[in-house]
Structure 1
C-alpha cells in the first residue's frame, strides 16, 4: 500500500505514522518548493515508521540534492543530481517495510498507543 504526503504534511510525524498504521509500506512526499532539511525529515519519517519514503521536490537553486528514495532504516537508495530536474528510481524490497522492530523490544507500533494516531 502507498501513502501520500504533500507539502508540510511530511514535517508532522503523526501523519506519516497514521499512514503506516493503515498499511502504507511506501510514503510518497511531494513538495512544490525545496526547503532546508527535507532530506533529514524524509529519512526521519522512513526510520521512525520503518517504511520506504520517496521525496519529490524541485531543485533547490543552490545546487543541493533534494529528491530521493529512502529505505526503512532512513538510508538513501537513490538521490537526485544536484540542481537538475529529472527522474530517479529505486528497487524496493517491500518485506523490509513489514519488519517494525528497531531493536529487540522496541516495536514501532506496539510500544505506542496506535489509537492516538488513528482518526475515526
Structure 2
C-alpha cells in the first residue's frame, strides 16, 4: 500500500496586530479546509502567522506576543486539530522561556497532542532578536505514512539543518516561512537545493502579501517543483508519495546520484574536519 500524505499549504494573511482574531481565522480556515479537501491529512501555516505581527511594522512589541508552551494557545490549537481530525503545523509563535524569547514552531496530531516543538536554530540576524534554540530540529512520525521534519524560514539557508533532519529519517521537511524581502527568489532556489541534496520533499509555506511575499513552494525528492504559489491568499495542495523518497535514495536522483546513501555510508573523515575545528563560542570566551 502506497504511503501517501495529502498536504495543504495555507498561504494566507493574518489579521495584522490582532493575534486573537488571527487565531479565530485559523480555526475558520481549518474548518473550511475540512469541507473543501476532505482527504487532506496535514495543514501547514506560515512562520509567526498566529502572532498577527508584521515583520517590518510591529503594531505590538514582539515580547508582548510571547506565549508559554504549553499554555492557553497550545491548548486551543490542540483542540482545533482534534476537532478537525487533522495534523496541524500551526507555523510558529513567539515563545517565552524564562528570560528568553524564541521563534517556535508547533505540530499537533489529529488527537490534539503537541507532537513537535521546535525553537528556530538560525534567527534572521541581525534583524530577528529571538534567541536561537539549543536542540536539533525535530522529526515526528505519522503512523503508516512516514517521518517528517521541521525547520523555520532562515534555517533553509543552512544546509546542516535539513541534512540533520534527513539523517534522522525525515522524508518530508515542513518549512514555515515569513519573507517579504527580495531574497524570496533565493529561497525558492534553496528549497529545491535542500530537497535535491537530501532526496526528500520540502514544503515551504510563506504568508501572503502584504505580511509576506507569498510564492510558497513544494519540491519533490529530485528537485521538481510540485506547486508554486502567487502573491495572494491560496490553499496549495499536493499528495506526496513517500515511497518515492526511498526509491530515489536507493536508486539515485534520475537513477544516477545516490547522494544521501553515499553521505551516510562512505563520507571521508576529511569532510567533517572543518566542523570539528569550528568552536566559535569557545574562542569568544577565551
TM-score range, shorter chain: 0.7 to 0.9
**Counterpart check, 1:71 vs 2:220:** yes
CA offsets 1:61-97 (integer angstroms, 9 cap, x no match): 6xx76202111111111221x2202220101111111
Work out whether 1:40 is the aligned partner of 2:186: no
C-alpha contact (below 8 Å) 1:27/1:53 kept by paired residues? yes
Provide the secondary structure at the position in 2 that maps to 1:44.
helix
2:156 corresponds to: 10
RMSD of aligned C-alpha atoms? 2.4
Q: Distance in 2 between matches of 1:65 and 1:7?
A: 13
Whose strand fraction is larger, Structure 1's or Structure 2's? Answer: 2
**How does 1:1-120 map onto structure 2 within 5 Å?**
1-34=147-180, 35-59=184-208, 66-80=215-229, 82-98=230-246, 99-100=248-249, 101-102=252-253, 103-104=255-256, 106-112=257-263, 113=267
TM-score, length of structure 1 as denominator length? 0.80
TM superposition shift of 1:47: 0.8
Structure with higher helix content: 2
Q: Distance in 2 between matches of 1:72 and 1:39?
A: 15
Relative to the length of structure 2, the TM-score reads 0.36
Distance 1:110 1:83, change over 3 A: closer
Q: How many residues align?
A: 113
> How many angstroms does 1:60 deviate by?
5.8
Larger Rg computed on CA atoms = 2
Q: Which has the higher contact order (CA 8 A, sep 6+)?
A: 1
* C-alpha contact (below 8 Å) 2:206/2:214 kept by paired residues: no
Q: Is the 8 A contact 2:153 2:175 kept in 1?
A: yes
- Distance, in Å, in 2 between the alignment partners of 1:5 and 1:74 is 18
Q: What is the alpha-carbon distance in structure 2 between the residues aligned to residue 29 and residue 8 of structure 1?
A: 10
For the Cα contact (< 8 Å) 1:30–1:56, is it kept in 2?
A: yes
Structure 1 residues 31 and 114: CA distance shift in structure 2, 3 A: farther
SS in 2 for 1:111: helix
Q: Partners in 1 of 2:170 and 2:261 — Cα distance?
A: 17
List per-residue Cα deviations over 1:24-50 (Å, max 9, x = no partner): 110011112243311111011111111
